[in-house]
Amino acid sequence: MTPLEITLGEHTLPVYPQRHAYLSNRLGRFIDDLLERVGDLDTSGLIVAVQQSSYELLCVLVPNLEKRVPEYEYRGYASREAMDRDEYEERTDRSPTIPEIRTALEVAAKVNSFDVLKHLGAVLDPTLLKGIVNAQVAEAISQTSPSSPSANGASASTNSGTRPPTSTVSTD
């Protein structure tokens, strides 16, 4: 089977499926790093952080991307040194376009079967999922200790050790 390919700037690269454990580990670290970077940013800062993180995410999803498309080139700089000095020059910019980046992320998601999650959402009824979650929450609440407040805030009744009277049935 011929691998799907992506184009980023002047480079065309094959995209191969990655092992699930590799993706779990690398994507987990990527998300942790992204959340740490975002911190207290407002919405516009979040968008910039996600855009800046696209290279790191593509490096996780596309093997050897960092060897084929150096970060400085991806970011539009002529060299690593120019990037370090923040010396951008439009005439030397060989960075990918936003549509190329989006397509690369879509292809990598498809190759690694992330699109399966989208299809699961179409199959599973959101009301059903909500019902399952509500049932699990109710069960967790019912398993709390008798002295714990109930879900509505009222105190749960406790057993004082006495038993209510039992009626006896006449055998006549």
In order of 144, 145, 147, the CA distances from 141 in angstroms are: 6, 9, 12
Q: Residues with Cβ < 8 Å from 71, sequence gap 6 or more?
A: 55, 80, 83
The pTM of this model reads 0.58
* Residue-level pLDDT at 51: 63
* Residue-level pLDDT at 92: 95
* Residue-level pLDDT at 42: 62
pLDDT tens for residues 77-98? Answer: 999 999 999 999 999 999 999 8
Task: Provide the phi-psi class of 28: left if phi over 0, else alpha when psi is between -120 and 50, else beta.
Answer: alpha
* Residue-level pLDDT at 76: 93
pLDDT tens for residues 135-153? Answer: 655 655 655 544 444 444 5
CA atoms within 13 A of residue 54's CA, in its CB half-sphere: 22
Amino acid identity, residue 42? D
Stretches where the chain sits below pLDDT 70 are: 33-51, 115-172
Q: For residues 132 and 21, what is the distance between their CA atoms, to the nearest angstrom? A: 28
Q: For residues 121 and 105, what is the distance between their CA atoms, to the nearest angstrom? A: 20
* Residue-level pLDDT at 74: 93
